[in-house]
Amino acid sequence: MNLQDKVVVITGGASGLGQATANYMVREKGAKVAILDLDESAGVETVSALGEDNALFCKTDVVSEGSIDAAIQRIMARFGAIHADINAAGIPLPCKMLGRDGKADSLSRYATVINVNLCGVFNVMAKCAERMALNEPDENGERGVVVNVSSGAAFEGQIGQCAYSASKAGVNGMNMPAARELGKYGIRVNSIAPGLFGTPLVRSLDDHVQNALIDMCEAPKRMGKTEEFAHACTFMIENPYLNGRTVRLDAATVMQAR
């Protein structure tokens, strides 16, 4: 799919990897972006930086159908279509089987992570796919593309990541059935599993912690750059033969147990 003048929905687009991708889509590819996030001040700042002709912010709760419906109505009113959906919203809430006291951890904590990181992804991608299916197909027969953000934790989760790892593995698990179902509408579905990236949140960690994380990276021996993540998302949208797959973007990192 050629991204010029296409409309890209990005959840979690007001910060971190989502924001970097929004910037890249507008400035490098000439796309329009709809930023869905709970952080209103960061969302407004992002739109201001990108220009109101190119970006729209919608304060959105990804686990609320009503909230997503309202956001999509605004997107359609402003841009008239949705061509791509990048689901980067997520929470890394720690969750273990047993706490320090040896007692079972809270099911509600586990369910909260699954609800946001997995159910929220399904909610947004299904609502966006409904709109994509109405687009006129391009020269490749495409009407839309979904890129869901997973994590290296889906493969080698660390201690304390029971909920997070399960949610991200679930994101990967949706690829094939969703790609098979939506293929007849000309919609592709893939996921990207990033490793360690230099987001503001990671950069705020103690230097000792950052160095320990970098030490797990094989080659190159550094954090990923946010524009490298954005470039990978772009490739997944632009390449019409990539479908139903998970791409690991992690410098061959294998996370240790802790």
| CATH class of the domain comprising 7-197+225-248 | alpha beta
Q: Which helix (H) or strand (E) covers residue 47, if one does?
A: helix 40-50
Cα of 216 vs its chain's centroid, Å: 23
Who contacts 15 (Cβ-Cβ below 8 Å, separation ≥6)? 37, 39, 42, 199, 200, 201
Give the model confidence (pLDDT) of 68-85 as tens digits: 999 999 999 999 999 999
pLDDT for position 204: 80
Task: Find the DSSP H helices in 61-206.
Answer: 65-79, 107-114, 120-132, 162-182, 200-203
CA 127, 13, 47: angle at the middle one, nearest 5? 110
Domain boundaries, the chain: 7-197+225-248
- How far apart are the C-alpha atoms of 249 and 228, rounded to whole Å? 9
164 in active site: yes
d(CA 144, CA 185): 8
DSSP summary character for residue 33 = E
**pTM, full prediction:** 0.95
Residue tagged active-site, from 110, 164, 185, 241: 164
* pLDDT tens series, the chain, 258 aa: 999 999 999 999 999 999 999 999 999 999 999 999 999 999 999 999 999 999 999 999 999 999 999 999 999 999 999 999 999 999 999 999 998 899 999 899 999 999 999 999 999 999 999 999 999 999 999 999 999 999 999 999 999 999 999 999 999 999 999 999 999 999 999 999 999 998 887 888 888 888 888 999 999 999 999 999 999 999 999 999 999 999 999 999 988 888
Distance, in Å, from the CA atom of 84 to the CA atom of 145, rounded to the nearest integer, reads 5
pLDDT number for residue 255: 83
**What is the helix, strand, coil percentage profile of the chain, to 5?**
45, 15, 35
pLDDT value for 213: 87
Say if CB 152 and CB 248 are below 8 A apart: yes
Residues 30-57: pLDDT tens digits? 999 999 999 999 999 999 999 999 999 9
**Bridge partner list, 10:** 35, 86
The H-or-E segment that residue 48 falls in is helix 40-50
